[in-house]
Amino acid sequence: MPVENAIIKSADVEIAYGKTTFFVYVSRNIKIDENDIEIHDQQGFGGIVLDDVFPLCRIMGVIGVRRWGDLSGKPCRVFGDGEVLHGIGNFINDDWYYLPGKEPKN
């Protein structure tokens, strides 16, 4: 899947039984023209159990926010295999966070 533009729709952190899991939901395949924005679908990113908070801090840094709750509504870029998103990136700069083991092969 090529890199696509997206908008973060929501971002959640769940803590249960001493485990922390994050989810970032994005609307991707965005077509922007002079009169409207057309959003094609929504997809989740994350869902992994965290050993520390580094991934949360890294995602906030990549997107350019200081609080997890400020992610909603921010533009970003996403990379994946068509079914699962593997990375989320800054909308302008070449700065990315990839799920562990999901970095693109060059």
48 vs 32 pLDDT, higher one: 48
Three-class DSSP labels, 41-61: EEEEEEEEEECCCHHHHHHHH
Residues 82, 84, 86, 89, CA torsion sign: positive
Q: Number of H helices and number of E strands within the chain? A: 1, 8
If residue 19 lies in a helix (H) or strand (E), which one and from where to where? strand 19-28
pLDDT tens track for 85-100 = 889 999 999 999 998 8
In a domain, 63, yes or no: yes
Give the range of the structural domain holding residue 50, as residue numbers without chain letter. Answer: 4-98
In a domain, 103, yes or no: no
In a domain, 104, yes or no: no
Number of domains into which the chain is organized: 1
pTM for this model (two decimals): 0.80
pLDDT tens track for 39-52 = 555 666 667 777 77
